[in-house]
Amino acid sequence: MHAFSARTLQTATPHHTATAATRALAVAAGALMLASCAVGPNFSSPPAPDVAGYTPEKLQSPGTDPGGPRVAKQRFVNGADIPTRWWAAFRSVPLNDLIRLSVERNPSLQSAEAAIKVANFNALAQRGLFFPQVGANYTASRQLVSNAVSGPGNTAQDEYSLHTAQLNISFVPDVWGENIRNVENLDAVTEQAQFQLEAAYLTLSANVVTAAIQEASLRGQIAATERIIKIERDILGILKNQFDAGQAAQVDVLAQEAALAQSEQTLPPLQKQLAIQRDLLTALAGQFSADEILQKFDLALLALPANLPVSLPSTLVTQRPDVRAAEANLHSASALVGVAIAARLPNFVISANPGSTAFNAAQLFTPGTLFYTIAGNATQTVFDGFTLYHKQKAAEAALDQANAQYRQAVITAFQNVADALRSLQADARSVQAAIKAENAAKASVDIIQKQLVLGQVNQVIVLTAQQVYLNAAITRVQAVATRLSDTAALFMALGGGWPTDCPTSDWRTCVFETRVASKT
């Protein structure tokens, strides 16, 4: 590869003179181009990690206790592709609609898209230095020569006009590949911006799914709390009737009233969290909080995905946008080392200055008015206090830093997947245990409530049973929501499903339309 960069020198000319100068300039440039090369390291993508799995032991799908309550099963599918619309696995129309709305309106995606354009235009601008830089200049002046200068008896014209038209042509042959490396750097920055768009898209969709699950969890916790409050009110009514009949002590009534008040006290914080969660979902959809979204979420309407794709470890680094962005950053740092090395080597400049000068504009292109200058220049820094040397060392250190950041990104990616797999393996049994505990607590409350009517149980047992049931009901809701959230976390840890068959300029429409519809 060869490159040209340029600085502006002044020049101008009629057509045939400009052609001659340009030819000479091109010949000189071509001679230097033949010897040009790009100094610095040539980048190659790091190899995939040589690991066989995400966990030390062989991956097992989440299991359940055969003797426990029945819960939905999940199965890991090794080597399967991540669907583009992975959130569709939850089979929730409101969730699909909200993600579509968020992708269309969220400013974070719009910002990431604009960042790609900024980087791309900067890369295109840098490519302009591969070509000669040409400028045009025209100057017209009116001049008067004094008598003292012209002298007595001098018949020369004392007052005259002068017109000069010229072209300014110059370029710097990219002998050491400095501009090649600069373009390589800016192309890598553009690539990094593209992967950052993917990361923003994945983060947004995962945040919407997780926030929707959290809203459903809060609604479930509120409903469970309201059920407990109803039971406690019924028990309070029984105790009041017994107290009126002289069969219960006032202290029992007061204790039940305190227990009811405590349960009622737990509702406002849950309702506040729900309202804040609605604000979060509205903001993710790119809307103001006053324009609250219409979609609402309930745990009963969110299906648990049964088949969970698990990418091969060798392909994870190509699926995770943060890892790919770190690789692009490593590529950029590698190219900048070449730029720093080239800055220490001799710099060559070729310039041409063809033009024409005449006393009036009509004579500019007549014989005898033409001029041109062709020049070559070579410069080399002799001593600069080791400035360029230390800049090269800084670039090399930045390359080491980018390499370490890339390796950390890969390690973090594998950790995220392992964490999600571990969580899902434990979640099934957690849900099973939570359901078992809630069923037992509910059965205990039902029996105690009947015994209370017959006066066969004391108030301490009643209060304890009520509190156990409340805790068990809340825990069961949270366990179900956690399993759904961890499922979404696995999809995110694996890099989601970026629409690789969609053009960058129209990926939003493509995600939701024909070309990816079959994948979901």
Please give the C-alpha separations between residue 118 and each of 156, 194, 458, in angstroms, as whole numbers: 59, 11, 74
Please give the C-alpha separations between residue 451 and each of 231, 248, 381, 440, in angstroms, as whole numbers: 14, 13, 98, 16
Read off the amino acid at residue 57: E
pLDDT score, position 151: 57
Q: Is residue 452 within 8 Å of 177, Cβ to Cβ?
A: no
DSSP 255: H
Read off the amino acid at residue 396: E
Give the pLDDT of the chain (520 residues) as one tens digit per residue: 333 333 222 333 333 434 444 454 444 444 444 445 799 999 999 999 999 899 999 999 998 888 889 999 999 999 998 888 999 999 999 999 999 999 999 999 999 999 999 999 999 999 999 999 999 999 999 988 776 555 555 555 578 899 999 999 999 999 999 999 999 999 999 999 999 999 999 999 999 999 999 999 999 999 999 999 999 999 999 999 989 988 888 998 999 999 999 999 999 999 999 999 999 999 999 999 999 999 999 999 999 999 999 999 989 999 999 999 999 999 999 999 999 999 999 999 999 999 999 988 888 888 989 999 999 999 999 999 999 999 999 999 999 999 999 999 999 999 999 999 999 999 999 999 999 999 999 999 999 888 888 877 787 888 889 999 999 999 999 999 999 999 999 999 999 877 766 666 677 777 776 433 433 3
pLDDT score, position 88: 94
Please give the C-alpha separations between residue 230 and each of 225, 227, 264, 270, 435, in angstroms, as whole numbers: 9, 5, 10, 17, 20
Which residues 6+ apart lie within 8 Å of 120 measured at CB? 190, 193
Right CATH for 4-45+81-147+158-517 from 3.40.50.300, 1.20.1600.10, 3.40.50.620, 3.30.365.10 = 1.20.1600.10
Torsion, Cα 377 382 388 393, to 10 degrees, reads 130
pLDDT score, position 156: 54
Chain centroid to CA 131: how far? Answer: 34
Which is nearest to 424 in space by CA: 67, 75, 70? 75
pLDDT score, position 431: 96
pLDDT score, position 158: 75
How many CB atoms are closer than 10 A to CB 68?
14
Residue 191 is inside which H or E element, if any? Answer: helix 178-244
The 3-state DSSP composition of the chain as helix, strand, coil percent (nearest 5) reads 60, 10, 30
Which residues 6+ apart lie within 8 Å of 407 measured at CB? none
Q: Round to whole Å and give the CA distance between 491 and 320.
A: 11
Q: Round to whole Å and give the CA distance between 499 and 511.
A: 6
Q: Round to whole Å and give the CA distance between 68 and 433.
A: 8
How many CB atoms are closer than 10 A to CB 375?
11
Domain spans of the chain, in order of start: 4-45+81-147+158-517
Structural tokens at position 238 = 């029984």
β-pairing, 159-173 with 133-144? antiparallel
CA geometry: angle 39, 40, 44, nearest 5 deg: 120
Structural tokens at position 343 = 């800055």
Strands (E) located in 311-436: 347-352, 355-358, 370-371, 374-379
pLDDT score, position 154: 58
